[in-house]
Amino acid sequence: MHVAVVGAGAVGCYFGGMLARAGLPVTLIGRPLHVDAIQKNGLRLETQSFDEQIALKASTEPNAVADADVVLFCVKSTDSLTTAKQIAPYLKPNAVLLSLQNGVENADIICSVLIQQVIASVVYVATEMAGPGHLKHFGRGELVIAQSPASESIAAVFECASVPVECVADVRGAQWAKLIINCAYNALSAIAQKPYAALVEVAGVSDLMAEVVDECLRVAAADGVTVPGDIHAATRRIAHTMAGQYSSTAQDVARGKPNEIDYLNGYIVRRGREQGIATPINQTLLTLVKLVEKH
């Protein structure tokens, strides 16, 4: 099974690196900064339990997907449509794409321009690019993916590479659960440039997060989505289980890079407006991220 990873960021490098480490042929496709470093020295995969240089192929060209049976689609939500169009001419007709992205819209966006199967997923991993070709892994690293004819065999391969994968019938509910947690943490961490535990220490922040969650739940309900579990409790837990984590939005804002806020709080605001549901706090957080981001 040949694997291509489209988007050599923190998520793509982690899952691509783990598959390559387990012996699979993996090609990372990304920007020259990381590709050059990986071509020269391999991918440095620094985790809590090991720190290794993983040899794998790397390319800046979309045609590097040509051999792939499985494509891990790991670009930012902002780049989904453009990237899907770029790789479309080179994909095998029976290639399967796995969208390892935030938000709930990406699989549909990719499907809109491809004939190949696209499997939606939810990613749980705390990682950061610490430098060119250097990935730091802080914790977790499991996937929840939509059930499909191809899903079980893909899951089996990931399991061999020490990546736990759960195949679920209702991936949409799982995506929303993650989306809601992202809505509660990402903007605040970005605006304040603080890690998760430092946020909830401040008076009023936990209540604010709870109201963000409530707004999201009202939009989810109007969309017919059942969010699994106690999402309020799950949201509160993240401050402890990922205490030192800065949100991806915080990292993007700090680095002056495009961020995904339009697909997180911005999505809630858009869907809320379409459904006639007020989302004042998500709207305020969205606007404030726009206010602090650099251009």
Q: How far is residue 243 from each of residues 11, 49, 50, 185, 197, measured CA to CA in Å? A: 19, 19, 21, 11, 4
In the complex, minimum distance from the CB of residue 271 to its own copies, in angstroms, rounded to a whole number: 17
273 binds its own copies (CB under 8 A): no
The least distance separating its own copies from the CB of residue 266, rounded to whole angstroms, comes to 10
The distance of closest approach from Cβ of residue 237 to its own copies in the complex, given in angstroms and rounded to an integer, is 20
205, 210, 217, 254: residue in contact with its own copies (rule CB under 8 A): 205
Say how far apart CA 92 and CA 245 lie, in whole Å: 38
| Contact status, residue 216 vs residue 275, Cβ threshold 8 Å | no
Q: Which is nearer to its own copies, 150 or 205 (CB)?
A: 205
From residue 293, give the alpha-carbon distance in Å to each of 76, 184, 249.
16, 18, 9
Region of 19-27, 31-39, 128-136, 196-204 interacting with its own copies (CB under 8 A): 196-204
Q: In the Cβ-directed half-sphere of 80, how many Cα atoms lie within 13 Å?
A: 28
Are residues 174 and 268 in contact, defined by beta-carbon separation less than 8 angstroms?
Answer: no
Q: What is the CA radius of gyration of the chain?
A: 18
For its own copies, give the closer residue by CB, 69 or 262.
Answer: 262
Of 65 and 286, which CB lies nearer to its own copies in the complex structure? 286
Number of residues forming the site for its own copies (CB under 8 A): 23
| Residues at the interface with its own copies (CB under 8 A) | 188, 191-192, 194, 199, 202-205, 207-208, 211, 280-281, 283-288, 290-292
